[in-house]
Amino acid sequence: MVEKPVIPRHRVLKAATIEFGGGAIDCILRNVSKTGAAFEVTSPVGFPEKFTLVIPGDSLNLACRVIWRLGLSIGVKLIERSNRFTTPCAATDTWPSSLRQRLPR
């Protein structure tokens, strides 16, 4: 069963990287919310349950935990925001403008 997000997610299309234990996997970020995100990978093999989602275009490093997997799509919950963020439930105004423009105010 796929868990439905409680907070609405908003579409984006951004290159990102999943970093874990010295490894890295490229991915495409597909949607975001205040508490989570979903993205696509080329292969889900060897994919960890917890990792850092790096969005270089926005200078973000987001600690994440996998909530669901469906084929090449993966949904995560943000468990910590580093760099510019201090809490996982910060207001959407703290998102960089490239993501914030797609989020409701």
The full 3-state SS of the chain, as one line of letters, equals: CCCCCCCCCEEEEEEEEEEECCEEEEEEEEEECCCEEEEEECCCCCCCCEEEEEEHHHCEEEEEEEEEEECCEEEEEEEEECCCCCCCCCCHHHCCHHHHCCCCC
Statement: residue 89 has pLDDT above 60: no
Q: What is the pLDDT of residue 10?
A: 85
Q: What is the pLDDT of residue 98?
A: 53
Q: What is the pLDDT of residue 44?
A: 84
Statement: residue 80 has pLDDT above 80: no
Going from N- to C-terminal start, the domains of the chain cover: 10-85
Statement: residue 42 has pLDDT above 80: yes
Q: Mention the CATH class of domain 10-85.
A: mainly beta
Q: What is the pLDDT of residue 55?
A: 92
What's the pLDDT band for 92 if we cut at 50, 70, 90? very low
pTM here is 0.69
What's the pLDDT band for 22 if we cut at 50, 70, 90? confident
Q: How many CB atoms lie within 10 A of CB 12?
A: 21
Using CA of residue 22, residue 76, residue 100, residue 98, what is the dihedral sign?
Answer: positive
Nearest of 17, 29, 42 to residue 98 by alpha carbon = 29
Determine the average pLDDT of the residues in 45-65.
Answer: 91
